[in-house]
Every structure is written in C-alpha cells, then in structure tokens.
Chains A and B, each alone.
Chain A
Amino acid sequence: MIAAPRLRLSHDDWRNLRTALPFVLPWVIGFFAFTLYPIIYSLYLSFNQYSGFGDAVPVGIANYKHMVSDPLFWKALYNTGYYTALAVPIGLVVAIVLALLMNQNLREVAIYRAAFYLPSILPLFALTFIFIVLLNPRFGAVNYFLGFLHVPTINWLGDARWTKVSVVILAQLGAGGPALIFLASLRAVPVELYESARLEGAGPIRRFWHITLPLITPVILYDLIYGTILGLQIFTPAYILVGGTSGGAAYTAGPENSLLFYVFYLYKNAFQYSDMGYASAMAWVLFVISIVLAVLIMRWSRYWVHYEAD
C-alpha cells in the first residue's frame, strides 16, 4: 500500500495562499456561520424542546418518537412522496422534450428558446397566483378547454384528488432551467454519430432512442437526483395555494390537508406552533431520506448511465 503523498507547498504557494485567504474568508466565514453552524445546531435542537426563545429543554429522542404517532407527519410524508414520485419523472420528460424543441435547426430558434424559458424566470409566487385563476373550476381557462372535450368539471384546488396534480402541473412551468442543461448535453452529442446512423437507415425515433438518450443519461441522472431533492422540499406553491380563503379551509393545508407537504408542516411547527425542536428533528429525517434516495438513485444509475469514457 502506498501512503498518500504529503501536501508540500512551495514558498510561492504559501504566499499565494496568504494573498487569497482574505478574499475567500468572507465566504468561509459565511459557510461556517450560516450553513455549517445552523446544521449542527439543528441536530442539537432536535433533541430538545425549544420555542426559539429562552432555554432549550433536553428531551432525548422524544421529538423523533413523536413523529411515529403524529398522523400529520405521515400525511405530510405521504403528500411529499406522492408529489415527488409524480413531479420528477414528468418534469424529466417535459425538460427533455423542451430541450429537443429548442435544439431544432431553425433560423428563429432563439425566439423559441426565449419563449420556452420565459416562465422559468418568473417568480414562483407570481406563477402560483396566475395558476389559481387558470384553475378556477367554473371560470378558469383550463376547465374551459377541457369542457370542449366533454370532461366533467374538475375542482383542481378544492378537491383533494387533484390538488397535488395541480402543483405538479405548476412545477412544469419551471422546466426551462433543466431544459437548458439538457440542451447543452444534446449539443454535445457528436454529429457524426447521427450522420452514420442516418446512412444506415435509422429514423428519427431510432436515432433518439439509440444515440441521443444513452448519451444524455449522465444529465438525466443529475436531473433525477436534483429534482428528487427539490421535490422533497416543495413548499412555496402549497403555502400560497392554501392562503387566506373564506371557504373555510384557510387553516388546513388544502382540502383534507392534501397540500400539507413535509417542509410546509415543518414550517408550521417551527413558526406557528413554536416547536423548533420537533421542526429540527423533522429536518434531519428529511435529510436522511434525501441521502438515502440519492444513494439509491446513484446505485441504480450504474445500470443505465453511459459515460463517454465507458
């Protein structure tokens, strides 16, 4: 076994390091103070009862035990799992399709790219408000068009069966970001491969299936992991969609708490019920779930991701 080489810095290296340090220090301090410290502190808080003020009272693993018997915790976990399982694959397909459209060899493709990307630069907050109007069961554009197809009235935001689907549809308006990454990977696929496939008589579907798709699998893997982590943290649409209604559901997270996503429930515990300890414990459980899912996806990816070096 060979020992790892010792890091040896020359005089110049040291001098450069001393010069650079003051410039990177603000970031390093920021990382320690605003990222690492809160992470460690939240682990400590998860074993305490703490309102955010006064002294934290140690309670051992009581916060973690409480989760097991808390029906809203399981409801939130179910809602989040349901949303992620639906939003991630759909988001992946939408992003790839958008990227393929943006990759067309047309003169005015720049205009299309801008148009497809436009919804992604709008704040989610504004998009959600627009969505509320579009999804109105009687006066919204979505049901109006579905009416032509004789689809019965869907109460998108007032029926627990449709609320999460509505949020999944809303999430697709942000597909422009991942689509740009897919576009970059599509443009990195060597043109010669398509040319030789075309000479062999391969049609567009076959070319996509056997050349494009395998070569963009590393980006699909990235999007899958990133999308899963973001999906587990879904918060903003639910927060706005359940806001101030006079219909009697303002204090439940959507009909039958169907929009009580994990982070939303965590937020309610932290800032509405002043239970920072329980909220911290929930955050750590989510962290563990995210890690486990990421590792599982990485392992699974061995069977279908193709790297160019392979």
Chain B
Amino acid sequence: MTLLPGRGIRALILSFLMVTACSTGGSTGSAPPLAGCNSGTTLATFWTSHTPPDSDSLKNIVTAFNKQSNSTCVKLVQVPGSETDIAKLTTAVRGGTGPDVYMLDRFTVAERAAAGVLEDLTPYGAASLGSSYLDFAWQEAQFKGKPYALPFDTDTRALYYNKDLLKAAGVDTSALDARDKPVTIDAVRTMANKVNKKDASGNYTTVGFIPWFEQGWHYTWGFAYGGTFFDKAACKVTPDDPKIVQAYKDMFWDWAGSLGVAQAQTFISSYAPPNLPTQQNAFLTGKLGFMISGDWVLGNIQTYVPNLKYGVTYIPVPHAGDAAATWAGGWSMVIPKGPKNGKGGYEFMKYIAGEPGQRVYTKETQHTPTFKSLTSDSTLFPGDHSFFSKQLSAAHSRPPLPVGGLYWDQLSTAQDAATRHTTEPAAALATAASATNDKLKQYCPLA
C-alpha cells in the first residue's frame, strides 16, 4: 500500500518538528552555562591549537577567569591548527560557528586581518591599551593602524648547550658559561666538532651542532648576520639582502657540507621525526651538544629532564665584537569575524592577555610576557629565564606583513634547499623574494 502524498509530507513535517524540538533544549534561566562558572553568565568560546604543557596553563587561566567573572563563562576548545594553518578557524567562521576568541600567532595578525578573518578591536576600546604592551608586540597586533589583536606571550631565542656532553668531549665551556658577550660562530664550530660521533655504518650517534635544528631558522641567522628582511619604504621583502645570503651560506650550506648533507638529515630524521613528542627532543635526550631554542625549553627541561646539566648563552655571532642578536615571537588573542559573544570574548581577552593571565602563563610555561608591568617583575623570571627576558629589549621581530605566512614558507623552502645543497642560497632567496613580492604588491603601500 502506498502512502497518500499528503500523509508523506505530513510525516516529513512531523519528523522535522520532532527533531527541532529535541535539538532546542530550553535554557534554564540563570543557571551557569558550564560547571565552574557563575550564575547569570553568558557563554564565550575560546579556541587554541596549543597542546600540553602550554594548553594546561591556558586551562588554568580559563578556570580562574570563570571563577571571578559575573558576566562571562569561557569554554576552552582545543582545535587542529598551527602557526600558519587556520583552516579550522576560517571554515568555522564562514559557516557561522566560529569562536568568540582565537589564539593566533602574532606575526600573522596582519595577514589574517588583511584577509578579513578578524574583527577590528577599535569598537571594543582596544586602541587605548597600546601603552600597556611592549611596543614591538603591539605593532605586530596592528593592521593599517587599527588593533586586531591583544598581544599575549613572547619569547626570545638563545644557544643551549649540554654541559655533560661537551665536558665528555673535552670541551672547555668557560667562554660560554661567562655569558658576558656572544662567542663567535667559529668558536662554537670548534667545540661542536669535538662532540660529533659516528657509528660503524657512518651514521651520527651524537652531533655537536646543527644550526637549523629547532629554532635555528632563517630569521635567527639572518638577524645574527645583521640582515634586513623587509624594506618598508619600497614595500618589498628583501630575503636577497647580501647579509642574509651570507648567513644562509655559512650556517646552512657550508655547515651541512661539513657535517655531510645526507648524514645530517639522517640524524634529524632519526632523532627528530615528524610529530615527535617534546620530551624526545634530541637535545633533551643528550644527542645534541648545542641547540638554538626559546625560553619555553626551560620549562620542558624542568618537566622532563630536571637533572640535565645545561647552560644558556647568546646566539653566536659571525665576528668577535659583533652585537648579540635574537628575535622575539609569540602569540595573541583575536576576535574572529561574526562572534556570538564578542563583548564577553573581549572581556576574557583583556583578562588573559592582561596582567592576571600573562602572570600565570609566564610562571607556568616560562614564556615571556608582553604586558609591560610584568616584564620588570623579577619573581617571574627565576634562574635562566631572566637571561631570556633581558634580551627582549634588543630583540628583533619578524616584519608583520599581510603575506607573513607565505614569506615564512618561502624562506623555509630556501633554507631547506641550502641545507640539502639543491639550490645555492642566492638563487633560492631570489626565488623567495619574487614569489613573496608578487603576492605582497596588492597590499602596498602598507600604512
């Protein structure tokens, strides 16, 4: 027997109404939206792509915020993503299901603002907060003169060395321990070469120093060699600056050549394969004598290898007497387009990126705050952390460009080519320049 047409439609409508009725569970007045929140608060969602141990600290900050706020209840959600990959965010925002607050790598703020992913924070009153933050961090949070983010943490980079490993290789570390001035790259090379060891099959079992390991990026060595990555007046990126080309030649091309291109890569693939857990880092497991990395490693050492005998000093320089150079990165809090509770989200942003949030994050993760009043609080920087925070005043930062992510990828491609001896640094960096400038020109002039 066939159903009558009318009955078919009626059945469909009835099913639809039932589904709708089931899915719209009514709110129960002023009950808190989540456990741990106060009554009468409204929900704001906060997304981060961070993983432990940093995300544990974010959870603690959210819990503390929820306890004290009478108007907003924040729900922390961990989502897939990375410094430059925000696929989850963009698709959600387009679909109208984006969060109220998102944690975004600060050097991409201009890029995402240019793409229209972010809300201008001027109507929320963010413009008046500029003086509370370190200037470079505040500048990174702007696009065309308007604030699109509140700066969160920052970090600086330095040279870590494994004292036991160096001592066992007969290296005198007194020049590093003194920490009064940066040592030269040649001095580090001499020390590092003593640490290199191979097994019977010719594979490295320990390596002194791989300059491009961890945070030994293009920016790290480019700044160390005095290079300039962006010409603001010409509105052009300048990775082909001769100083950057020289940095690539010395630290990537020549260094890879002396270690052996294939052997160095095999060591990295063995001890630093993709998606490796933090605690298995080759420096932490005693396979590397030197490593360039940031202040967060202090926290990792404390958590995973508290007995490691290590030291921290300036990033080495090309010539004796050169000034020490490092760069500062960090993250920020943004409101993506179309928030459901922008006001509540901003209230949380002011808290987490303000004094209370940054204080907890600095204590728990050993990152460095961008909130000015905290940078002079010595209780926040025990032990070696103070060395990193002191470098901040002279630290460089990446140019905040609307094509910042693309530029980073292009510099990385050139770096990869240099460490593998596939394209000479000058040619690889010229390609990076033209590819990036090609995309950048549509945004010029940058205000």
If A139-B270, A246-B213 touch, whether A18 touches B84 (CB-CB below 8 Å) is: no
From A89-97, A250-258, A287-295, give the one contacting chain B: A250-258
Q: Chain B contacts of A152 at CB under 8 A?
A: 201
- Residues on A with beta carbons closer than 8 Å to the beta carbon of B210: 248
Contact B431 A252 (CB under 8 A): no
Q: How far is the CA of A41 from the CA of B438 in the complex (A)?
A: 26
Q: Which of A146-171 contact B (CB under 8 A)?
A: 152-153, 155-160
A162 to chain B, nearest CB (A): 10
- The dominant DSSP class at the A interface is loop
Closest Cβ neighbor of B117 among chain A residues: A53
Say whether B5 contacts A18, CB under 8 Å: yes
Contact B269 A251 (CB under 8 A): no
B274 contacts partner chain A, Cβ-Cβ < 8 Å: yes
With an 8 A cutoff between CB atoms, is B337 at the interface?
Answer: yes
Decide: A132 and B272 in contact? CB cutoff 8 A. no
Select A157's contact among B5, B93, B274, B416, beta carbons within 8 Å.
Answer: B274
Tell me if A257 and B203 are in contact (CB < 8 A): no
**CB-based contact B84/A272 at 8 Å:** yes
B270 & A52 in contact (Cβ 8 Å cutoff):
no
Interface assignment of A103: CB less than 8 Å from any CB of chain B? no
Interface residues of B in 268-286 (CB under 8 A from A): 268-270, 272-276, 281-282
Bound complex: CA A133 to CA B117 (Å): 37
Q: Are B269 and A247 in contact (CB under 8 A)?
A: yes
Q: Could you say which interface size class chain B belongs to? A: 35 or more
Interface 1/0s, chain A 270-301, versus B by CB < 8 A?
Answer: 11111100000000000000000000000000
A15 contacts B by Cβ under 8 Å: yes
CB atoms of A19 and B3 under 8 A apart: yes
Q: Is A138 an interface residue (CB 8 A)?
A: yes
Asked if B86 contacts A249 (CB within 8 A), the reply is: no
Shortest distance between the CB of A227 and any CB in chain B (Å): 26
Binds A, one of B130-138, B240-248, B401-409: B401-409
Q: Give chain A nearest CB distance to B2 CB in angstroms.
A: 6
Q: Check: B266 CB closer than 8 A to any chain A CB.
A: yes
Q: Do the beta carbons of B275 and A129 come within 8 Å of each other?
A: yes
Given known A-B contacts A132-B275, A251-B412, A256-B420, A52 and B269 have beta carbons under 8 A apart: no
| Residue in B9, B213, B274 whose CB lies within 8 Å of A243 | B274
Contact of B439 with A273 in the complex, beta carbons under 8 Å: yes
Closest to A242 in B: B274
Task: Give every chain B residue within 8 A of A100 (Cβ-Cβ).
Answer: none
Q: Which residues of B contact A71 (CB under 8 A)?
A: 431, 435
Q: Is the CB of A246 within 8 A of B416?
A: no
User: Which of A129, A248, A251, A272 sits near B268, CB closer than 8 Å?
Assistant: A248
For chain B, what secondary structure do more than half of its interface residues adopt (helix, strand, loop), or is it mixed?
A: helix
Measured in the bound complex, the distance between the Cα atoms of B214 and A252 in whole Å is: 14
Q: Is A203 an interface residue (CB 8 A)?
A: no
CB <8 Å contact, A247 and B272 = yes
Residues of B within 8 A of A185 (CB): none
**Of B84, B270, B275, which one neighbours A251 at CB under 8 angstroms?**
B84
Contact of B60 with A by CB under 8 A: no
Give the CA-CA distance A249 to B417 in the complex, in Å: 10
Residues of chain A within 8 A (CB-CB) of B116 are 51-54
Q: How far is the CA of A160 from the CA of B270 in the complex (A)?
A: 15
* A267-B413 Cα distance, complex, nearest whole Å: 17
B281 A160 Cβ-Cβ under 8 A: no
Q: Does residue B8 face the partner (Cβ distance < 8 Å to A)?
A: yes
Alpha-carbon gap, A245 to B412, bound state (A): 13
CB contacts between A and B, total, < 8 Å: 158
A137 interface residue, CB < 8 Å from B?
A: yes
A256→B90 contact, CB < 8 A:
no
- The CA of A54 and the CA of B435, in the complex, are separated in Å by 24
B8 and A22 within 8 A (CB): yes
Contact of B273 among A22, A136, A153 (CB under 8 A): A136
Say yes or no for A196: interface residue by CB 8 A criterion: no
- Is B422 at the interface (CB under 8 A from chain A)? yes
A138–B275 touching, CB < 8 Å: no
Residues from 18 to 69 in A contacting B, C-beta threshold 8 Å: 18-19, 22-23, 49, 51-54
Cβ of B222 within 8 Å of any chain A Cβ, yes or no, is: no
Contact A158 B117 (CB under 8 A): no
Q: How far is the CA of A170 from the CA of B201 in the complex (A)?
A: 27
A132 touches B274 (CB 8 A): yes
Within 8 A of A (CB), among B400-447: 403, 405-406, 408-409, 412-413, 415-417, 419-420, 422, 431, 435, 439, 442
Q: What residues of chain A lie closer than 8 Å to B213, measured between beta carbons?
A: 246-248
| A215 contacts across to B, CB distance below 8 A | none
- Contact (Cβ within 8 A) B274 A256: no
A15-B2, A16-B2, A53-B94 known; A138+B266 contact, CB < 8 A: yes
Q: Which of A22, A54, A155, A267 contacts B12 (CB 8 A)?
A: A22
- State whether the Cβ of B115 lies closer than 8 Å to any Cβ in chain A: yes
Please indicate which of the listed interface residues A51, A70, A256, A272 has the most CB atoms of chain B within 10 Å of its own CB.
Answer: A272
From 196 to 253 in chain A, residues with beta carbon under 8 angstroms from any chain B beta carbon are 240-252
> With an 8 A cutoff between CB atoms, is B186 at the interface?
no
Asked if residues B413 and A252 are in contact (CB atoms below 8 Å), the reply is: yes
CA distance A15 to B5 in the complex (A): 7
Whether B69 is near chain A, meaning CB under 8 Å from some CB there, is: no
Among B99-137, those with CB < 8 Å from A are: 111-112, 114-117
By a CB distance below 8 angstroms, the chain A residues around B266 are: 137-138, 153, 155, 158
Q: For B289, what are the chain A residues with a Cβ–Cβ distance below 8 Å?
A: none
- Chain B nearest Cβ from A168, distance in angstroms: 18
Chain B neighbourhood of A246, CB < 8 A: 213-214, 272, 276, 281-282
Shortest 6 CB-CB distances between A and B: which pairs?
A53-B116, A158-B269, A271-B87, A247-B268, A251-B412, A274-B115
Task: Known pairs A242-B274, A256-B417; list 13 more (Cβ under 8 Å).
Answer: A49-B442, A52-B116, A53-B94, A70-B435, A72-B435, A132-B273, A136-B273, A137-B203, A138-B203, A153-B266, A241-B274, A246-B282, A268-B409
- Would you list 8 pairs from A and B whose C-beta atoms are within 8 A, ordered by A residue? A15-B5, A54-B116, A71-B431, A155-B266, A157-B274, A158-B265, A243-B275, A245-B275
